[in-house]
Amino acid sequence: MRRLRDLLSHILQPTIFVAAVAMAAPGLTLSPAQSQEFQRDIPILMTADELQFDDELGIATAKGNVEISQSERVLLADMVTYNQRTDVVTASGNIILMEPTGEVLFAEFAELTDDMREGFLRGFSMLLEDNSRLAAVSAQRRGGVETRLNQAIYSSCRDCVGFDGEPLWNIKAAKVTHNQDRREVVYRDATLEVLGLPVAYTPFLSHPDPTVKRKSGLLTPTFGGSSSLGSSIRLPYFWAISRDKDLTFDPIIYASNYPLITGEYRQSFGDGELKTRLSGIYDTTDSTSKRGRGHIDAEARFVIDDYWRWGSDIKLASDDTYLSRFGFPGRDTLTSRAYLERFGPRSYAAAQGIYFQGLRDNDIQEEIPLVLPKIDYNFVGDPGTAGGYTTLDANFQALGRDTGASSQRLSLTGGWHLPYVSDIGTVTTLNATLQTDLYNVADVSVPSGDTESGFTGRIFPQLSAEWSYPWIRRGETSGMLIEPIAALVLAPNGGNPDRIPNEDSLAVEFDETNLFSANRFPGKDRVEGGSRVVYGLRGGLYGDGGGSSTFMVGQSYQFRENSAFAFGSGLNEQRSDIVGRFTISPNKFLDLLYKTRIDADNLRAKRTEISGSYGPRFLRGDVNYIFFDQTEEFAKREEIRAGLSSDITDQWSARVDTRRDLSDNGGTLSWGASIRYNCDCLDFSINYRRTFTQDRDVPPDESIFVRVVFKTLGEFGTSF
């Protein structure tokens, strides 16, 4: 890089001096020879209102709107002088130095080397890439990459201000070093102030500068405590191993237990990604049952080519309550699988193996099946000249367990479908399907109480026709839809031999979404035999402003009572239950959903779901109510969850919520409250939560969690 000296030393030459003035006075023209010499010899660009040179002292002075550009570094000032003998540039008045990396430096006075990479600045401030600010009494520039500040202050607050317009928080330090090569800011003898009051002191503090997306280092610790686990501290460390992989190691140290070792490893590949979390502890909280506990949660996704990909999910825990006991997310069942799948233009194929781990109290792991392999293929043919198309669904599944039945299933379902729209607007779809299933079973329980083994199968044809007639009316500010729907389904009765085990069709959930389905069973092990008619009505009112209200209601009638459905399913009698869904969302202040299933004989609700939110942002409520009548598989359930939230100001928000079991022996399950302050430089929240349920060694709990995030620095959390 050529230096500023190369320009200013040439000011003695008349042609170069004229060229410099011409940049400040565009109306002045140069001869071609002079322009060529100027373009060839001057490596930087300088403009100013006035240029002077003292021949005896060797000092050049630029005054008025001075701008000096060298490569991607730009210096602006009211006045700049250059001493040819000492190679020192002195600037004063409204100094702005723009760095190639995005930082902007301000000063009242600056004394720099001729390449602007070394020097001293007084009345210094710095605007970083994320708009956070550093200011100091004085600063030194070293090597063009490091700035050392004396008696400095740092803050990322712009809109968040405390008393007297001061930043909500800041860090004051005796010395601050900003290194652009290492991309970090280091503080010595630093004090954190909030609302002008000192709250913390540290002899050393560092954090990445805003250009850093990821960097190794300690993350903010979290302090906590609970009645069952005692006091604890979480000490996270982030290790940026390379550009494509990193590790977060965040052990939890307990006062009355062995440490819990946990961490998450992440890696990106050219064709996929891998993410794995491991944890483990030797738990001594129960003196009668000291044991090692842990879990793994891993996920891999890889692309082979434009059509093929493979992946795996591994989710395992040492015991049923480990995840909820130590605060890891989990469900009633952990599902691990490995799979290979192909996406074709009109087809999909997948092969996978699935392992389930039950975490509920009544789960017996030996009775939970292992599925290996499960192979699926789905194909949709091109539409013909009349619009008809064919489908093919194939499945092979092998299922085994340590205790209980095992089976292998081969299933093929072919179909032909013809949609038709008449001249008057009716829509009719004809469907013809044939499902064939072959099973090899072992130890399958039959109604007599015995178990049987061997081959069995079925051939199940089905014909159906669905008809609808949508009526649409357009008003000045809204549109209306009314659409009657009817369907006729023809199929032989039965179709479910006793020797075919029911592994994938146990949980039948009858509602408006599967009212017109050809098979209301969710899987392949059970088919819905017999003939029936289905009828319903749906419609809606749609406003031009985005508001809408919709509904759907319907029922089915079987020509013969179907004993394949369990008691309480809503489909076990000739007339099914009446199902419906209603939504009301006229504007942004109200959003309501109501779903129901009503007994056709006495019009008693057997299932009710209500969810909604209402009110403006200043005070908005939400509610979720569910009621399920008792069925053959599940007990009666009635529960409500309600909350109230408020955006008090643009920065302050608050929320309270509760969850309650409304059954005879029920009660409050949990409740909580929170308040949050969030602005451009600070995120502060207090959350209180109390639970009243117990699951084996996971007792009811009461906690307060305080979280403070100083944006651009990190976060601090504590819980009690």
Residue % of the chain over a pLDDT of 90: 52
Q: Is the confidence at residue 312, as pLDDT, over 60?
A: yes
pLDDT of residue 24: 32
* pLDDT level of residue 268 (50, 70, 90 thresholds): very high
pLDDT of residue 424: 93
Q: Which of 24-38, 170-184, 414-428 has the lowest mean pLDDT?
A: 24-38
pLDDT of residue 632: 67
In whole angstroms, how large is the CA radius of gyration of the chain?
Answer: 37
Q: Is the confidence at residue 20, as pLDDT, over 50?
A: no
Distance CA(410)–CA(459), nearest Å, equals: 12
Q: How many CA atoms lie within 13 A of 595 on its CB side?
A: 14
User: Sign of dihedral through CA atoms 521, 522, 526, 528?
Assistant: positive
- Which residue ranges form the domains of the chain, and what is each CATH number? 1-117 (2.60.450)
Q: Is the confidence at residue 28, as pLDDT, over 80?
A: no
Find out whether 258 and 284 touch, Cβ atoms under 8 Å: yes
- Convert the pLDDT of each residue in 460-494 to its tens digit: 999 999 999 999 999 888 999 999 999 999 999 98
247 Cβ contact list (under 8 Å, min separation 6): 238, 239, 241, 263, 264, 265, 266
Q: How far is CA 377 from CA 394, 417, 484, 597, in A?
A: 5, 18, 34, 34
User: Sign of dihedral through CA atoms 686, 692, 695, 699?
Assistant: positive
pLDDT of residue 7: 44
328: Cα separation from own chain's centroid: 17
Q: Is the confidence at residue 548, as pLDDT, over 70?
A: yes
The residue ranking higher by pLDDT, 30 or 91, is 91
Three-class SS string for 533-580?
EEEEEEEEEEECCCCEEEEEEEEEEECCCCCCCCCCCCCCCCECCEEE
The residue ranking higher by pLDDT, 705 or 471, is 471
pLDDT of residue 14: 32
Distance CA(64)–CA(79), nearest Å, equals: 6
pLDDT of residue 225: 67
Give the DSSP per-residue string, 649-710.
SSSEEEEEEEEEE-STT--EEEEEEEEEEE-SSEEEEEEEEEE---BTTB--EEEEEEEEEE
Q: Which of 3-17, 187-201, 325-339, 417-431 has the lowest mean pLDDT?
A: 3-17
Long-range own/partner contacts, residues 81-85 (CB < 8 A, 24 or more apart): 82/4, 82/5, 82/8, 82/114, 83/57, 83/58, 83/59, 84/5, 84/8, 84/9, 84/58, 84/59, 84/60, 85/58
Q: Is the confidence at residue 198, as pLDDT, over 70?
A: yes
Find out whether 22 and 28 touch, Cβ atoms under 8 Å: yes
Q: Locate 699 and state its tokens.
A: 């007792």
- Strands (E) across 40-145 are located at 45-47, 50-54, 59-70, 73-83, 88-98, 104-113, 119-127, 133-142
* pLDDT level of residue 115 (50, 70, 90 thresholds): low
Kindly report the average pLDDT of the chain as a whole number. Answer: 86
Distance CA(519)–CA(460), nearest Å, equals: 12
Q: Is the confidence at residue 622, as pLDDT, over 80?
A: yes
Find out whether 631 and 644 touch, Cβ atoms under 8 Å: no
Tokens 């903010």 correspond to 220
Q: What does the buried/exposed string (b/e) look like for 503-534 if buried means 16 or more CB atoms within 10 Å of the residue's CB?
A: bbbeebebbbebbbebbbbebbbbbbbbbbeb
Neighbours of 471 (CB within 10 A): 11
Q: Which of 298-312, 556-570, 609-623, 696-710 has the lowest mean pLDDT?
A: 696-710
Q: What does the buried/exposed string (b/e) look like for 173-206 if buried means 16 or more CB atoms within 10 Å of the residue's CB?
A: beebbbbbebbbbbbeebbbbbeeeeeeeeeebb
Q: Is the confidence at residue 47, as pLDDT, over 50?
A: yes
Three-class SS string for 624-663?
EEEEECCCCCCCCEEEEEEEEEECCCCCEEEEEEEEEECC
Task: Give the distance between the most distant pair of CA atoms in the chain.
Answer: 119
pLDDT of residue 4: 43
3-state helix, strand, coil in the chain (%, to 5): 5, 60, 35
Distance CA(432)–CA(417), nearest Å, equals: 7
pLDDT of residue 127: 87
Q: Which of 2-16, 286-300, 373-387 has the lowest mean pLDDT?
A: 2-16
Closest by alpha carbon to 160, among 683, 648, 706? 683
* pLDDT level of residue 718 (50, 70, 90 thresholds): very low
Q: Locate 32 and state its tokens.
A: 């071609």
- Convert the pLDDT of each residue in 565-587 to its tens digit: 888 888 988 999 999 999 999 99
256: Cα separation from own chain's centroid: 35
pLDDT of residue 131: 81
Q: How far is CA 612 from CA 351, 398, 524, 538, 641, in A?
A: 40, 43, 35, 21, 11
Find out whether 545 and 587 touch, Cβ atoms under 8 Å: yes
Q: Is the confidence at residue 118, as pLDDT, over 70?
A: yes
Q: Any idea what the Cα angle at residue 592 is, between residues 586 and 598, rounded to 5°?
A: 125
Residue % of the chain over a pLDDT of 70: 92
